[in-house]
Chain A
Amino acid sequence: MPAAKHKIVTAFEGIPQSRSLETYLKHGGYQNLKKALSMKPDALVDLVKASGLRGRGGAGFPTGLKWSFIPKDSKERYLVCNNDEGEPGTFKDRYILELSPHMLLEGMIITAYAIQSKKGYVYTRCEFYEEIEWLNQAIDEAYETGYLGENIIGSGFSFNLDHYIGAGAYVCGEETGMLSSLEGKKGYPKLKPPFPAVAGYLGKPTIINNTETLATIPWIIEHGAEAFRKFGTEKSPGTKLFCVSGPVKNPGVFERPLGYPLQKLIYEDAGGLIDGKELKAVIPGGASSPVLNKEDVMTMKLDFESLAGAGSMLGSGAVIVIPHDVNIFDVFKVTADFFHHESCGQCTPCREGTGWIANILQGIEENKGSPADFERIYKIATQLMGRTICALSDAAAMPARGFVNKFRDELNAYIETKRNTR
Protein backbone atom coordinates (compact mmCIF):
# COMPACT_ATOMS: atom_id res chain seq x y z
CA MET A 1 0.00 0.00 0.00
CA PRO A 2 1.20 3.52 -0.61
CA ALA A 3 2.85 4.67 2.60
CA ALA A 4 1.93 8.08 3.93
CA LYS A 5 1.65 9.60 7.34
CA HIS A 6 -1.66 8.97 9.10
CA LYS A 7 -2.98 7.27 6.03
CA ILE A 8 -4.55 3.88 6.19
CA VAL A 9 -7.82 3.94 4.30
CA THR A 10 -6.92 7.09 2.41
CA ALA A 11 -3.55 5.76 1.27
CA PHE A 12 -4.61 6.22 -2.35
CA GLU A 13 -5.32 9.92 -1.92
CA GLY A 14 -3.65 11.86 -4.73
CA ILE A 15 -2.83 8.78 -6.80
CA PRO A 16 -4.25 8.99 -10.32
CA GLN A 17 -6.84 6.40 -11.37
CA SER A 18 -6.76 5.08 -7.85
CA ARG A 19 -9.98 3.11 -8.29
CA SER A 20 -8.65 0.78 -10.98
CA LEU A 21 -7.50 -2.72 -10.19
CA GLU A 22 -4.30 -2.01 -12.06
CA THR A 23 -3.40 0.89 -9.80
CA TYR A 24 -4.37 -1.08 -6.75
CA LEU A 25 -2.19 -4.03 -7.74
CA LYS A 26 0.69 -1.73 -8.64
CA HIS A 27 0.70 -0.48 -5.06
CA GLY A 28 0.72 -3.88 -3.48
CA GLY A 29 -3.01 -4.52 -3.65
CA TYR A 30 -4.27 -7.99 -2.70
CA GLN A 31 -0.84 -8.91 -1.32
CA ASN A 32 -2.33 -8.76 2.17
CA LEU A 33 -5.03 -11.15 1.08
CA LYS A 34 -2.32 -13.60 -0.03
CA LYS A 35 -0.64 -13.19 3.32
CA ALA A 36 -3.90 -13.63 5.21
CA LEU A 37 -4.84 -16.76 3.28
CA SER A 38 -1.58 -18.32 4.40
CA MET A 39 -2.51 -17.74 8.05
CA LYS A 40 -4.97 -19.61 10.25
CA PRO A 41 -8.39 -17.90 10.41
CA ASP A 42 -8.25 -17.79 14.21
CA ALA A 43 -4.87 -16.07 14.03
CA LEU A 44 -6.48 -13.32 11.96
CA VAL A 45 -9.23 -12.87 14.51
CA ASP A 46 -6.59 -12.65 17.22
CA LEU A 47 -4.59 -10.16 15.20
CA VAL A 48 -7.56 -7.86 14.74
CA LYS A 49 -8.43 -8.25 18.41
CA ALA A 50 -4.87 -7.29 19.31
CA SER A 51 -5.02 -4.24 17.05
CA GLY A 52 -7.84 -2.86 19.14
CA LEU A 53 -9.76 -1.88 15.99
CA ARG A 54 -13.25 -0.67 16.90
CA GLY A 55 -16.19 -0.46 14.55
CA ARG A 56 -16.10 2.71 12.46
CA GLY A 57 -19.83 2.86 11.76
CA GLY A 58 -20.67 4.66 14.98
CA ALA A 59 -21.02 2.22 17.84
CA GLY A 60 -17.30 1.51 18.21
CA PHE A 61 -17.68 -2.15 19.13
CA PRO A 62 -14.35 -4.06 19.08
CA THR A 63 -14.18 -5.69 15.65
CA GLY A 64 -12.15 -8.79 16.51
CA LEU A 65 -14.38 -9.53 19.47
CA LYS A 66 -17.46 -9.29 17.25
CA TRP A 67 -15.93 -11.82 14.85
CA SER A 68 -15.24 -14.22 17.70
CA PHE A 69 -18.96 -14.38 18.62
CA ILE A 70 -19.73 -16.66 15.66
CA PRO A 71 -20.65 -20.06 17.07
CA LYS A 72 -17.81 -22.48 16.36
CA ASP A 73 -20.12 -25.26 15.23
CA SER A 74 -22.01 -23.16 12.68
CA LYS A 75 -21.58 -23.97 8.99
CA GLU A 76 -23.35 -21.32 6.95
CA ARG A 77 -22.00 -17.87 7.84
CA TYR A 78 -22.46 -14.51 6.22
CA LEU A 79 -20.44 -11.35 6.05
CA VAL A 80 -22.22 -8.10 5.34
CA CYS A 81 -20.56 -4.80 4.63
CA ASN A 82 -22.58 -1.89 5.94
CA ASN A 83 -22.12 0.61 3.15
CA ASP A 84 -25.48 2.29 3.76
CA GLU A 85 -23.92 5.56 4.74
CA GLY A 86 -26.83 7.71 5.85
CA GLU A 87 -25.94 9.37 9.12
CA PRO A 88 -26.41 13.07 8.37
CA GLY A 89 -23.04 14.73 8.09
CA THR A 90 -21.24 11.52 7.07
CA PHE A 91 -19.59 10.98 3.69
CA LYS A 92 -16.51 8.94 4.52
CA ASP A 93 -17.50 5.51 3.16
CA ARG A 94 -18.40 7.19 -0.10
CA TYR A 95 -14.85 8.59 -0.11
CA ILE A 96 -13.39 5.09 0.27
CA LEU A 97 -15.39 3.97 -2.76
CA GLU A 98 -14.13 6.98 -4.64
CA LEU A 99 -10.50 6.30 -3.74
CA SER A 100 -10.13 2.55 -3.69
CA PRO A 101 -13.07 0.16 -3.72
CA HIS A 102 -10.59 -2.70 -4.02
CA MET A 103 -9.27 -1.89 -0.57
CA LEU A 104 -12.76 -2.53 0.78
CA LEU A 105 -13.00 -5.76 -1.22
CA GLU A 106 -9.63 -6.98 0.00
CA GLY A 107 -10.65 -6.22 3.56
CA MET A 108 -13.91 -8.09 3.06
CA ILE A 109 -12.29 -11.17 1.57
CA ILE A 110 -9.78 -11.31 4.42
CA THR A 111 -12.57 -10.90 6.94
CA ALA A 112 -14.63 -13.58 5.22
CA TYR A 113 -11.67 -15.92 5.49
CA ALA A 114 -11.13 -15.00 9.15
CA ILE A 115 -14.75 -15.82 10.03
CA GLN A 116 -14.93 -18.62 7.42
CA SER A 117 -17.81 -17.13 5.51
CA LYS A 118 -18.48 -18.23 1.95
CA LYS A 119 -21.04 -15.60 1.06
CA GLY A 120 -21.09 -11.90 1.60
CA TYR A 121 -23.06 -8.83 0.71
CA VAL A 122 -22.25 -5.19 0.39
CA TYR A 123 -25.35 -3.15 1.18
CA THR A 124 -25.24 0.30 -0.38
CA ARG A 125 -27.82 3.06 -0.30
CA CYS A 126 -29.48 3.60 -3.67
CA GLU A 127 -28.79 7.33 -3.81
CA PHE A 128 -25.08 6.55 -4.41
CA TYR A 129 -25.71 5.93 -8.10
CA GLU A 130 -22.16 6.64 -9.23
CA GLU A 131 -20.48 4.90 -6.30
CA ILE A 132 -22.58 1.78 -6.89
CA GLU A 133 -21.14 1.55 -10.38
CA TRP A 134 -17.58 1.99 -9.11
CA LEU A 135 -18.02 -0.82 -6.63
CA ASN A 136 -19.78 -3.05 -9.17
CA GLN A 137 -16.84 -2.61 -11.47
CA ALA A 138 -14.36 -3.46 -8.75
CA ILE A 139 -16.37 -6.59 -7.87
CA ASP A 140 -16.37 -7.66 -11.53
CA GLU A 141 -12.62 -7.12 -11.72
CA ALA A 142 -12.06 -9.11 -8.56
CA TYR A 143 -14.09 -12.00 -9.93
CA GLU A 144 -12.25 -11.87 -13.25
CA THR A 145 -8.86 -12.02 -11.57
CA GLY A 146 -9.78 -14.70 -9.08
CA TYR A 147 -9.87 -12.63 -5.91
CA LEU A 148 -13.53 -13.44 -5.55
CA GLY A 149 -15.36 -16.66 -6.32
CA GLU A 150 -14.25 -20.26 -6.02
CA ASN A 151 -10.78 -21.24 -4.82
CA ILE A 152 -9.47 -17.71 -4.40
CA ILE A 153 -5.95 -17.41 -5.84
CA GLY A 154 -5.48 -21.13 -5.46
CA SER A 155 -5.97 -21.10 -1.70
CA GLY A 156 -8.91 -23.48 -1.61
CA PHE A 157 -10.96 -20.75 0.07
CA SER A 158 -14.08 -19.59 -1.74
CA PHE A 159 -16.05 -16.45 -1.18
CA ASN A 160 -18.86 -15.01 -3.25
CA LEU A 161 -19.87 -11.42 -2.92
CA ASP A 162 -23.03 -9.70 -4.03
CA HIS A 163 -23.93 -6.04 -4.07
CA TYR A 164 -27.37 -5.23 -2.71
CA ILE A 165 -28.93 -1.83 -3.14
CA GLY A 166 -31.22 -0.16 -0.61
CA ALA A 167 -34.22 1.96 -1.41
CA GLY A 168 -34.17 4.89 0.96
CA ALA A 169 -34.36 4.07 4.66
CA TYR A 170 -31.88 5.31 7.27
CA VAL A 171 -32.78 2.45 9.60
CA CYS A 172 -31.19 -0.02 7.16
CA GLY A 173 -27.88 1.35 8.36
CA GLU A 174 -28.70 -0.38 11.65
CA GLU A 175 -27.10 -3.77 11.25
CA THR A 176 -30.16 -5.93 11.77
CA GLY A 177 -32.42 -3.54 9.88
CA MET A 178 -29.97 -4.10 7.05
CA LEU A 179 -30.39 -7.86 7.36
CA SER A 180 -34.19 -7.57 7.16
CA SER A 181 -33.75 -5.44 4.07
CA LEU A 182 -31.39 -8.02 2.55
CA GLU A 183 -34.12 -10.57 3.16
CA GLY A 184 -36.36 -8.47 0.94
CA LYS A 185 -38.42 -7.04 3.78
CA LYS A 186 -39.03 -3.70 5.39
CA GLY A 187 -35.93 -2.58 7.25
CA TYR A 188 -37.26 -3.57 10.65
CA PRO A 189 -34.35 -4.22 13.01
CA LYS A 190 -34.42 -7.71 14.51
CA LEU A 191 -35.14 -8.43 18.14
CA LYS A 192 -32.04 -9.25 20.16
CA PRO A 193 -31.10 -11.71 21.58
CA PRO A 194 -30.24 -13.61 19.48
CA PHE A 195 -27.52 -11.33 18.17
CA PRO A 196 -26.66 -11.42 14.46
CA ALA A 197 -23.35 -13.19 15.05
CA VAL A 198 -25.51 -16.10 16.25
CA ALA A 199 -28.68 -15.63 14.19
CA GLY A 200 -28.51 -12.92 11.55
CA TYR A 201 -29.29 -13.02 7.84
CA LEU A 202 -31.97 -15.69 7.37
CA GLY A 203 -31.27 -16.77 10.94
CA LYS A 204 -27.68 -17.73 10.12
CA PRO A 205 -24.56 -16.37 11.90
CA THR A 206 -23.73 -13.04 10.32
CA ILE A 207 -21.06 -10.43 10.86
CA ILE A 208 -21.88 -6.91 9.81
CA ASN A 209 -18.99 -4.44 9.58
CA ASN A 210 -18.83 -0.89 8.36
CA THR A 211 -17.03 -0.05 5.10
CA GLU A 212 -14.28 1.91 6.84
CA THR A 213 -13.74 -0.89 9.36
CA LEU A 214 -13.34 -3.47 6.60
CA ALA A 215 -11.11 -1.21 4.53
CA THR A 216 -8.77 -0.94 7.52
CA ILE A 217 -8.17 -4.70 7.69
CA PRO A 218 -5.57 -5.03 4.86
CA TRP A 219 -3.35 -2.42 6.51
CA ILE A 220 -3.50 -4.25 9.83
CA ILE A 221 -2.51 -7.47 8.07
CA GLU A 222 0.38 -5.71 6.38
CA HIS A 223 1.72 -3.74 9.33
CA GLY A 224 0.51 -5.66 12.35
CA ALA A 225 -1.44 -4.81 15.46
CA GLU A 226 1.37 -2.93 17.13
CA ALA A 227 1.81 -0.54 14.22
CA PHE A 228 -1.92 0.15 14.26
CA ARG A 229 -1.82 0.88 17.96
CA LYS A 230 0.90 3.49 17.36
CA PHE A 231 -1.93 5.68 16.09
CA GLY A 232 -4.63 6.94 18.35
CA THR A 233 -5.15 6.41 22.04
CA GLU A 234 -4.90 3.30 24.14
CA LYS A 235 -8.62 2.63 24.14
CA SER A 236 -9.28 4.10 20.70
CA PRO A 237 -6.36 2.90 18.59
CA GLY A 238 -5.79 3.69 14.94
CA THR A 239 -6.87 6.42 12.62
CA LYS A 240 -10.39 7.51 11.77
CA LEU A 241 -12.01 9.28 8.89
CA PHE A 242 -13.48 12.59 10.00
CA CYS A 243 -15.96 14.38 7.77
CA VAL A 244 -15.99 18.10 8.28
CA SER A 245 -18.96 19.96 6.87
CA GLY A 246 -20.79 23.21 7.32
CA PRO A 247 -19.52 26.71 6.59
CA VAL A 248 -15.79 25.94 6.69
CA LYS A 249 -13.18 26.79 4.07
CA ASN A 250 -12.19 23.21 3.20
CA PRO A 251 -14.99 20.82 3.95
CA GLY A 252 -14.06 17.20 3.34
CA VAL A 253 -12.77 13.92 4.69
CA PHE A 254 -9.66 13.86 6.85
CA GLU A 255 -7.97 10.73 8.10
CA ARG A 256 -6.50 11.52 11.48
CA PRO A 257 -5.39 9.49 14.48
CA LEU A 258 -8.05 9.02 17.13
CA GLY A 259 -7.61 11.46 19.97
CA TYR A 260 -6.99 14.27 17.47
CA PRO A 261 -7.98 17.75 18.71
CA LEU A 262 -11.35 18.84 17.33
CA GLN A 263 -10.29 22.46 17.28
CA LYS A 264 -7.28 21.62 15.10
CA LEU A 265 -9.48 19.64 12.72
CA ILE A 266 -11.85 22.54 12.25
CA TYR A 267 -9.49 25.50 12.28
CA GLU A 268 -6.38 24.01 10.64
CA ASP A 269 -7.39 21.05 8.48
CA ALA A 270 -10.74 22.42 7.40
CA GLY A 271 -9.39 25.95 7.36
CA GLY A 272 -11.80 27.50 9.85
CA LEU A 273 -15.13 29.17 9.12
CA ILE A 274 -15.92 31.13 5.99
CA ASP A 275 -17.06 34.75 5.60
CA GLY A 276 -15.87 35.74 9.05
CA LYS A 277 -18.48 33.53 10.71
CA GLU A 278 -18.03 32.58 14.34
CA LEU A 279 -18.40 29.04 15.60
CA LYS A 280 -21.46 28.52 17.76
CA ALA A 281 -21.60 24.77 18.14
CA VAL A 282 -20.43 21.49 16.67
CA ILE A 283 -22.19 18.21 16.15
CA PRO A 284 -19.19 15.94 16.51
CA GLY A 285 -20.32 12.50 15.32
CA GLY A 286 -23.28 12.77 12.97
CA ALA A 287 -26.86 13.81 13.62
CA SER A 288 -27.30 11.34 16.45
CA SER A 289 -24.47 12.73 18.56
CA PRO A 290 -25.30 15.43 21.11
CA VAL A 291 -24.21 18.91 20.19
CA LEU A 292 -21.09 20.54 21.70
CA ASN A 293 -20.93 24.23 22.47
CA LYS A 294 -17.94 26.37 21.62
CA GLU A 295 -16.34 25.85 24.99
CA ASP A 296 -16.45 22.04 24.56
CA VAL A 297 -15.04 22.29 21.05
CA MET A 298 -11.89 24.08 22.07
CA THR A 299 -10.68 21.30 24.36
CA MET A 300 -12.29 18.22 22.81
CA LYS A 301 -10.24 15.24 21.66
CA LEU A 302 -11.74 13.07 18.95
CA ASP A 303 -11.85 9.58 20.39
CA PHE A 304 -14.57 7.32 21.77
CA GLU A 305 -13.80 8.00 25.44
CA SER A 306 -13.29 11.76 25.35
CA LEU A 307 -16.54 12.41 23.56
CA ALA A 308 -18.49 9.96 25.71
CA GLY A 309 -17.02 11.72 28.74
CA ALA A 310 -18.49 14.98 27.51
CA GLY A 311 -21.92 13.37 27.11
CA SER A 312 -21.64 13.12 23.35
CA MET A 313 -20.17 10.49 21.06
CA LEU A 314 -17.63 9.92 18.34
CA GLY A 315 -20.29 8.26 16.21
CA SER A 316 -19.43 8.14 12.55
CA GLY A 317 -16.88 10.95 12.81
CA ALA A 318 -19.13 13.47 11.09
CA VAL A 319 -18.16 16.89 12.38
CA ILE A 320 -20.83 19.46 11.55
CA VAL A 321 -19.88 23.05 12.20
CA ILE A 322 -22.73 25.35 13.22
CA PRO A 323 -22.05 29.06 12.84
CA HIS A 324 -23.21 31.90 15.08
CA ASP A 325 -25.81 33.22 12.64
CA VAL A 326 -27.90 30.05 12.70
CA ASN A 327 -30.57 29.64 15.32
CA ILE A 328 -30.04 26.41 17.20
CA PHE A 329 -33.80 25.79 17.10
CA ASP A 330 -33.62 25.33 13.34
CA VAL A 331 -30.89 22.72 13.65
CA PHE A 332 -32.84 21.00 16.42
CA LYS A 333 -35.98 20.89 14.31
CA VAL A 334 -34.24 19.54 11.20
CA THR A 335 -32.66 16.83 13.34
CA ALA A 336 -35.95 15.91 15.03
CA ASP A 337 -37.81 15.85 11.71
CA PHE A 338 -35.15 13.56 10.31
CA PHE A 339 -35.48 10.95 13.06
CA HIS A 340 -39.26 11.21 12.92
CA HIS A 341 -39.11 10.58 9.19
CA GLU A 342 -36.72 7.64 9.57
CA SER A 343 -38.10 5.80 12.60
CA CYS A 344 -39.23 2.46 11.20
CA GLY A 345 -42.27 2.42 13.45
CA GLN A 346 -41.77 -1.03 14.85
CA CYS A 347 -41.21 -0.15 18.52
CA THR A 348 -43.83 2.02 20.16
CA PRO A 349 -41.59 4.44 22.10
CA CYS A 350 -39.53 5.33 19.02
CA ARG A 351 -42.49 5.44 16.62
CA GLU A 352 -44.54 7.66 18.92
CA GLY A 353 -41.71 9.49 20.68
CA THR A 354 -39.84 10.71 17.60
CA GLY A 355 -43.14 11.94 16.18
CA TRP A 356 -44.13 13.57 19.43
CA ILE A 357 -40.87 15.52 19.70
CA ALA A 358 -41.13 16.67 16.08
CA ASN A 359 -44.78 17.54 16.65
CA ILE A 360 -43.97 19.71 19.67
CA LEU A 361 -41.21 21.51 17.77
CA GLN A 362 -43.64 22.09 14.92
CA GLY A 363 -45.98 23.73 17.40
CA ILE A 364 -43.21 25.98 18.65
CA GLU A 365 -42.36 26.97 15.10
CA GLU A 366 -46.02 27.80 14.55
CA ASN A 367 -45.81 30.04 17.61
CA LYS A 368 -47.90 27.74 19.76
CA GLY A 369 -45.08 26.83 22.09
CA SER A 370 -44.31 27.38 25.73
CA PRO A 371 -41.04 26.99 27.67
CA ALA A 372 -42.52 23.86 29.25
CA ASP A 373 -42.28 22.26 25.82
CA PHE A 374 -38.51 21.87 25.95
CA GLU A 375 -38.73 20.30 29.40
CA ARG A 376 -41.31 17.91 28.00
CA ILE A 377 -39.10 17.06 25.04
CA TYR A 378 -36.25 16.35 27.42
CA LYS A 379 -38.44 13.97 29.44
CA ILE A 380 -39.78 12.23 26.35
CA ALA A 381 -36.26 11.82 24.99
CA THR A 382 -35.10 10.31 28.26
CA GLN A 383 -37.81 7.67 27.95
CA LEU A 384 -36.60 6.80 24.46
CA MET A 385 -33.15 5.82 25.62
CA GLY A 386 -32.37 2.13 25.88
CA ARG A 387 -36.02 1.15 25.45
CA THR A 388 -36.23 -0.17 21.92
CA ILE A 389 -34.99 -2.96 19.65
CA CYS A 390 -32.37 -0.82 17.94
CA ALA A 391 -30.47 2.36 18.70
CA LEU A 392 -32.40 4.66 16.36
CA SER A 393 -34.50 5.70 19.31
CA ASP A 394 -31.37 6.59 21.28
CA ALA A 395 -30.00 8.31 18.20
CA ALA A 396 -33.08 10.53 18.21
CA ALA A 397 -33.13 11.04 21.96
CA MET A 398 -29.50 11.92 22.61
CA PRO A 399 -29.26 14.97 20.36
CA ALA A 400 -32.69 16.16 21.55
CA ARG A 401 -31.47 16.09 25.12
CA GLY A 402 -28.20 17.63 24.01
CA PHE A 403 -29.85 20.64 22.37
CA VAL A 404 -32.00 21.29 25.43
CA ASN A 405 -29.05 20.79 27.76
CA LYS A 406 -26.59 23.02 25.98
CA PHE A 407 -28.87 25.66 24.48
CA ARG A 408 -31.84 25.95 26.81
CA ASP A 409 -31.58 29.74 27.00
CA GLU A 410 -31.38 30.21 23.26
CA LEU A 411 -34.31 27.83 22.74
CA ASN A 412 -36.47 29.58 25.31
CA ALA A 413 -35.51 32.92 23.80
CA TYR A 414 -36.70 31.57 20.44
CA ILE A 415 -40.16 31.02 21.88
CA GLU A 416 -40.13 34.54 23.31
CA THR A 417 -39.02 36.11 20.03
CA LYS A 418 -41.74 34.23 18.18
CA ARG A 419 -44.27 35.46 20.67
CA ASN A 420 -43.15 39.06 20.37
CA THR A 421 -43.36 38.99 16.61
CA ARG A 422 -46.82 37.55 16.63
Chain B
Amino acid sequence: MSVFSEKLQDKFKHYLARYETRRSAILPILHEIQDEYGWIQPEHIESLEKEYGLAKVHVQEVVSFYSMYRTEKPRPYRIYFCDNIVCTLMGAEKTMEKIRKVMKSYEDKGLESPFSLEGVPCLGVCDGAPAMLVNKERYLRVDSEKVEEILMKYGA
Protein backbone atom coordinates (compact mmCIF):
# COMPACT_ATOMS: atom_id res chain seq x y z
CA MET B 1 0.00 0.00 0.00
CA SER B 2 1.30 3.36 -0.99
CA VAL B 3 1.17 6.26 1.44
CA PHE B 4 0.01 8.37 -1.49
CA SER B 5 -3.53 8.54 -2.87
CA GLU B 6 -4.23 7.00 -6.27
CA LYS B 7 -4.80 10.43 -7.73
CA LEU B 8 -1.43 11.59 -6.48
CA GLN B 9 0.27 8.46 -7.75
CA ASP B 10 -1.14 9.09 -11.21
CA LYS B 11 0.29 12.58 -11.13
CA PHE B 12 3.68 11.22 -10.03
CA LYS B 13 3.72 8.75 -12.90
CA HIS B 14 2.88 11.54 -15.28
CA TYR B 15 5.78 13.66 -14.03
CA LEU B 16 8.19 10.73 -14.01
CA ALA B 17 7.48 10.13 -17.70
CA ARG B 18 7.27 13.77 -18.69
CA TYR B 19 10.88 14.89 -18.47
CA GLU B 20 14.10 13.61 -19.99
CA THR B 21 15.13 12.10 -16.65
CA ARG B 22 13.07 10.78 -13.76
CA ARG B 23 15.06 12.96 -11.40
CA SER B 24 13.55 16.10 -12.95
CA ALA B 25 10.23 15.00 -11.53
CA ILE B 26 11.44 15.57 -7.96
CA LEU B 27 10.48 19.26 -7.77
CA PRO B 28 6.99 18.94 -9.27
CA ILE B 29 6.28 15.82 -7.22
CA LEU B 30 7.26 17.63 -4.04
CA HIS B 31 4.96 20.52 -4.96
CA GLU B 32 2.11 18.03 -5.37
CA ILE B 33 2.84 16.37 -2.04
CA GLN B 34 2.93 19.74 -0.32
CA ASP B 35 -0.33 20.84 -1.90
CA GLU B 36 -1.97 17.60 -0.77
CA TYR B 37 -0.57 17.20 2.75
CA GLY B 38 0.58 20.71 3.61
CA TRP B 39 4.15 19.63 4.20
CA ILE B 40 6.73 17.06 3.18
CA GLN B 41 7.11 14.31 5.73
CA PRO B 42 9.90 11.76 6.12
CA GLU B 43 7.53 8.94 5.15
CA HIS B 44 6.87 10.71 1.86
CA ILE B 45 10.57 10.86 1.06
CA GLU B 46 11.07 7.25 2.04
CA SER B 47 8.12 6.18 -0.09
CA LEU B 48 9.41 8.10 -3.10
CA GLU B 49 12.56 5.98 -2.91
CA LYS B 50 10.75 2.73 -2.29
CA GLU B 51 7.97 3.21 -4.83
CA TYR B 52 9.62 5.32 -7.52
CA GLY B 53 13.35 4.87 -7.04
CA LEU B 54 13.99 8.54 -6.34
CA ALA B 55 17.01 8.47 -4.02
CA LYS B 56 16.23 9.71 -0.51
CA VAL B 57 19.42 11.74 -0.41
CA HIS B 58 18.57 13.47 -3.69
CA VAL B 59 15.05 14.27 -2.55
CA GLN B 60 16.20 15.46 0.86
CA GLU B 61 18.82 17.70 -0.76
CA VAL B 62 16.09 19.34 -2.82
CA VAL B 63 13.64 19.64 0.08
CA SER B 64 16.25 21.29 2.27
CA PHE B 65 17.66 23.57 -0.43
CA TYR B 66 14.53 25.30 -1.67
CA SER B 67 12.91 27.59 0.84
CA MET B 68 9.29 27.03 -0.22
CA TYR B 69 9.22 23.37 0.75
CA ARG B 70 7.91 22.89 4.26
CA THR B 71 9.27 20.18 6.50
CA GLU B 72 7.15 20.95 9.52
CA LYS B 73 3.43 20.76 10.00
CA PRO B 74 2.13 24.16 8.88
CA ARG B 75 -0.47 26.43 10.41
CA PRO B 76 -3.66 26.85 8.33
CA TYR B 77 -2.62 30.31 7.10
CA ARG B 78 0.98 30.93 6.27
CA ILE B 79 1.96 34.54 5.77
CA TYR B 80 5.02 35.03 3.60
CA PHE B 81 5.95 38.65 4.00
CA CYS B 82 8.54 40.21 1.74
CA ASP B 83 11.27 41.68 3.92
CA ASN B 84 13.48 42.74 1.06
CA ILE B 85 14.71 46.20 0.11
CA VAL B 86 11.64 47.83 -1.40
CA CYS B 87 9.14 46.38 1.05
CA THR B 88 11.42 47.42 3.89
CA LEU B 89 11.54 50.94 2.47
CA MET B 90 7.77 50.93 2.26
CA GLY B 91 7.15 49.91 5.85
CA ALA B 92 7.15 46.10 5.86
CA GLU B 93 8.48 45.96 9.40
CA LYS B 94 5.57 47.98 10.74
CA THR B 95 3.04 45.69 9.08
CA MET B 96 4.85 42.59 10.28
CA GLU B 97 4.81 44.02 13.80
CA LYS B 98 1.04 44.26 13.47
CA ILE B 99 0.79 40.65 12.27
CA ARG B 100 2.88 39.51 15.24
CA LYS B 101 0.53 41.37 17.52
CA VAL B 102 -2.49 39.60 16.02
CA MET B 103 -0.74 36.28 16.39
CA LYS B 104 0.12 37.05 19.98
CA SER B 105 -3.50 37.88 20.76
CA TYR B 106 -4.29 34.22 20.15
CA GLU B 107 -1.56 33.09 22.51
CA ASP B 108 -2.78 35.51 25.13
CA LYS B 109 -6.11 33.73 24.97
CA GLY B 110 -4.37 30.42 25.27
CA LEU B 111 -5.10 29.55 21.65
CA GLU B 112 -2.80 28.54 18.85
CA SER B 113 -2.60 31.18 16.17
CA PRO B 114 -3.92 29.97 12.82
CA PHE B 115 -1.21 32.12 11.23
CA SER B 116 2.50 31.72 10.82
CA LEU B 117 4.72 34.55 9.67
CA GLU B 118 7.86 34.18 7.65
CA GLY B 119 10.01 36.87 6.04
CA VAL B 120 10.75 35.96 2.43
CA PRO B 121 12.91 37.44 -0.29
CA CYS B 122 11.46 39.71 -2.95
CA LEU B 123 8.11 38.49 -4.30
CA GLY B 124 8.56 40.34 -7.58
CA VAL B 125 5.77 42.85 -7.08
CA CYS B 126 7.75 45.80 -5.73
CA ASP B 127 5.37 48.33 -7.30
CA GLY B 128 2.87 47.01 -4.79
CA ALA B 129 5.18 47.09 -1.77
CA PRO B 130 4.81 46.04 0.95
CA ALA B 131 3.67 42.71 -0.42
CA MET B 132 2.76 39.41 1.14
CA LEU B 133 1.32 36.03 0.36
CA VAL B 134 -1.23 34.29 2.55
CA ASN B 135 -0.88 30.71 1.40
CA LYS B 136 -1.09 31.28 -2.36
CA GLU B 137 -3.04 34.54 -2.26
CA ARG B 138 -1.09 37.71 -2.96
CA TYR B 139 -1.76 41.02 -1.25
CA LEU B 140 -0.21 44.34 -2.24
CA ARG B 141 0.38 47.64 -0.43
CA VAL B 142 -0.28 45.92 2.85
CA ASP B 143 -0.01 48.56 5.55
CA SER B 144 -0.78 47.93 9.17
CA GLU B 145 -4.46 48.84 8.83
CA LYS B 146 -5.06 46.86 5.68
CA VAL B 147 -3.38 43.80 7.12
CA GLU B 148 -5.85 43.67 9.96
CA GLU B 149 -8.76 43.55 7.50
CA ILE B 150 -7.04 40.81 5.53
CA LEU B 151 -6.39 38.70 8.60
CA MET B 152 -10.01 39.16 9.67
CA LYS B 153 -10.98 37.53 6.41
CA TYR B 154 -9.09 34.44 7.51
CA GLY B 155 -10.79 34.42 10.86
CA ALA B 156 -8.64 36.67 13.03
Contacts and interface: CB of A to CB of B under 8 A. Distances in A.
Q: Determine whether A and B are in direct contact in the complex, meaning some CB atoms lie less than 8 angstroms apart.
A: yes
Interface of A: 85-91, 93-94, 119, 125-130, 162, 164-170, 181-187, 201-202, 243-247, 251-253, 283, 287, 318, 320-323, 326, 330-331, 334-335, 338, 341-342, 344
Given A183-B24, A251-B127, A162 B65 contact: no
B68 A88 contact: no
B27 A245 contact: no
B67 A169 contact: yes
A201 to B, nearest CB: 8
Contact of B58 (A130, A184, A287, A335): A184
Nearest to A167: B66
B86 A181 contact: no
Contact of B126 (A90, A165, A202, A331): A90
A243 B127 contact: yes
B27 A165 contact: yes
Interface stretch (B5-13, B15-23, B98-106): B15-23
Contacts of B126: 88-91, 243, 245, 251, 318, 320
Nearest to A84: B124
A86 B127 contact: no
Given A86-B124, A88-B121, A185 B61 contact: yes
Contacts, number: 145
Interface string B81-103: 00111101110000000000000
B121 to A, nearest CB: 6
- Among A88, A330, A341, residue most surrounded by chain B Cβ atoms (within 10 Å): A88
Interface of B: 18-28, 30-31, 58, 61-62, 65-69, 80, 83-86, 88-90, 120-129, 133, 136, 138
A184 B22 CA distance: 8
Given A90-B126, A129-B136, A185 B84 contact: no
- Among B62, B69, B124, residue most surrounded by chain A Cβ atoms (within 10 Å): B124
A120 B28 CA distance: 17
Given A167-B30, A184-B23, A184-B62, A127 B68 contact: yes
A168 B127 contact: no
